[in-house]
């Protein structure tokens, strides 16, 4: 009798467990994460992002005066993506698009969060958007972010709330680089009773707690990335590390020893800028050394890029591209990029097909073994198989860019070899961007139907946009309303 009861209890218990597991599986499918796999079966992902780095300001992309030996070594033993785009031509929206896998215009983040956004806005990227970091965290990755955030500085929008187990850095859109200088300025304002202190001067933080940093900021961020790599090596799970350098974004502040490397550069801004890029290069080399020392290098995918184009007025060089940060010309949102992963990414290779930062989310999900939910709203695609075989992953697909100015909007759309651009109140122009990377020869008169098709596609895309949740600068709010900019009255008129 006792044995029979025990048998019944066991059968009942197993049934309950099976039902529970079935329920968990269904919930998992709905929420987009799969069952966690072992550490060795999935790659670590090291994502290195620079801020306002010019297209031609790294050796692997043709720099003639700035040397980047560590980045070049990785790029040359990996694959350089020569036709890589981000989702916007300046910082905040570009990062929002990268981490959500969606165009920022679709959820009201077309503008940078304004300075001191915790006071002026009190929110960040909508909580309805699941960040890439959250997706990877839920699938079992140990996740870290180091450096610039610029996506929300209040509870709920903080990096630790958006899928990052560990965060060291600053929440605003930039920061000064020398602690001896910015701490003194900060403490002076505190002593004077200033309540709303510019966030370029505020203390850095680690997981919500203020820290008193003592190193040059770029070096400090590299140090913290190394700490994370060392911590990750002790865990039985893969890692995702988002290293978001603020260099070489202004203010132009470099260490003297780094600037001395570039004594041949006579222009002071360019020399300072070069020193800032060199500090990033040195840091990336040290992070790679840490990966090797902890036996994680062979199974780590390293992705490097800039968040948008550089500013020639602040030392950058976007050659041979036309335009600069903020533009819908190539110089605004086409960026240097490479992938590196020993024995997985082809060495010494160049991938010339167009890709978008929107593609990272679904591509990383695929590498992590995550099944995204049916009907997901991601705007990119998993490019891994096509990238690995050297084929285009976006045959016929569109890559859009839009930047709102004072009363009008700049737009561009690329499809395969063709790109249509409207910028600075100039009319629409059409380029074969494969043959004419500098956007010099307008082919619209020879190909009117191609231009019309691309402009119509951009107009259809614009109908998916929502009203901006904030404006930067704030005075654009009234311009937006008065000019009825959301209606795009003249934007898609080919004859204007």
44-50 and 300-306 beta bridge pairing: parallel
Catalytic residue among 50, 88, 105, 150: 150
Cα four-point dihedral sign 157, 160, 161, 163? positive
21 assigned to active site: no
- What CA–CA distance (Å, rounded) separates 109 from 410? 16
- What CA–CA distance (Å, rounded) separates 316 from 66? 10
Entry field: residues in the chain:
496
Nearest of 250, 261, 192 to residue 217 by alpha carbon: 250
The two three-digit tokens of residue 155, written as one number: 């509870």
Block residue for tokens 């009319």: 427
The two three-digit tokens of residue 344, written as one number: 């997985």
- What CA–CA distance (Å, rounded) separates 177 from 94? 22
Catalytic residue among 50, 91, 175, 340: 91
The two three-digit tokens of residue 335, written as one number: 């960026």
105 assigned to active site: no
142-148 and 239-244 beta bridge pairing: parallel
Contact in structure between 416 and 83 (CB atoms under 8 Å): no
**For residue 11, what are the contacts with CB-CB under 8 A and spacing of at least 6?**
none
The alpha carbon of 352 is separated from its chain's Cα centroid by a whole number of angstroms, namely 20
The two three-digit tokens of residue 102, written as one number: 């969606």
Contact in structure between 346 and 336 (CB atoms under 8 Å): no
- What CA–CA distance (Å, rounded) separates 170 from 145? 10
Contact in structure between 362 and 101 (CB atoms under 8 Å): yes
Block residue for tokens 């965290």: 137
User: Which residues are identified as catalytic?
Assistant: 91, 150
């Amino acid at each position: 009798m006792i044995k029979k009861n025990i048998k019944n209890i066991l059968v009942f218990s197993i049934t309950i467990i099976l039902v529970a597991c079935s329920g968990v599986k269904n919930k998992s499918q709905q929420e987009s994460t799969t069952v966690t796999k072992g550490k060795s079966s999935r790659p670590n992902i090291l994502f290195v992002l620079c801020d306002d780095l010019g297209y031609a300001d790294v050796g692997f992309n043709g720099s003639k005066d700035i040397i980047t030996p560590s980045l070049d070594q990785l790029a040359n033993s990996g694959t350089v993506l020569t036709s890589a785009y981000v989702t916007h031509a300046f910082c905040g929206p570009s990062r929002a698009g990268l981490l959500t896998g969606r165009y920022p215009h679709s959820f009201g983040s077309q503008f940078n969060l304004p300075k001191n956004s915790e006071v002026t806005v009190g929110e960040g990227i909508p909580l309805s958007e699941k960040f890439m970091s959250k997706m990877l965290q839920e699938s079992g990755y140990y996740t870290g972010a180091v450096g610039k955030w610029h996506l929300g500085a209040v509870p709920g929008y903080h990096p630790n709330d958006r899928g990052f187990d560990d965060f060291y850095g600053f929440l605003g859109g930039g920061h000064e680089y020398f602690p001896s200088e910015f701490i003194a300025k900060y403490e002076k304002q505190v002593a004077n009773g200033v309540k709303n202190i510019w966030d370029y001067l505020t203390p850095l933080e680690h997981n919500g707690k203020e820290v008193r940093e003592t190193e040059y900021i770029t070096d400090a961020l590299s140090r913290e990335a190394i700490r994370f790599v060392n911590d990750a090596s002790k865990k039985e799970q893969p890692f995702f590390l988002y290293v978001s350098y603020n260099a070489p974004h202004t203010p132009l502040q470099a260490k003297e020893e780094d600037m001395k490397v570039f004594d041949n550069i006579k222009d002071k801004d360019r020399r300072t800028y070069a020193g800032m890029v060199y500090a990033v290069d040195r840091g990336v080399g040290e992070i790679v050394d840490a990966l090797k020392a902890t036996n994680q290098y062979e199974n780590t995918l390293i992705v490097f890029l800039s968040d948008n184009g550089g500013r020639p007025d602040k030392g950058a060089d976007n050659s041979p591209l036309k335009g600069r940060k903020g533009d819908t010309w190539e110089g605004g949102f086409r960026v240097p990029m490479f992938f590196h992963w020993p024995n997985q990414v082809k060495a010494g290779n160049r991938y010339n097909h167009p890709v978008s930062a929107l593609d990272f989310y679904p591509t990383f999900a695929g590498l992590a073994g995550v099944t995204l939910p049916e009907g997901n709203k991601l705007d990119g695609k998993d490019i891994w198989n096509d990238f690995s075989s050297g084929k285009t992953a976006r045959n016929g697909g569109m890559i859009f860019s839009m930047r709102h100015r004072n009363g009008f909007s700049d737009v561009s759309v690329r499809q395969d070899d063709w790109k249509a651009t409207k910028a600075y109140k100039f009319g629409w122009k059409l380029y074969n961007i494969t043959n004419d990377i500098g956007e010099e020869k307008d082919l619209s008169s020879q190909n009117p139907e191609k231009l019309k098709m691309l402009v119509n596609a951009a107009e259809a895309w614009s109908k998916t946009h929502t009203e901006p949740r904030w404006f930067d600068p704030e005075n654009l709010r009234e311009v937006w309303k008065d000019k009825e900019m959301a209606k795009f009255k003249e934007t898609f008129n080919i004859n204007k």
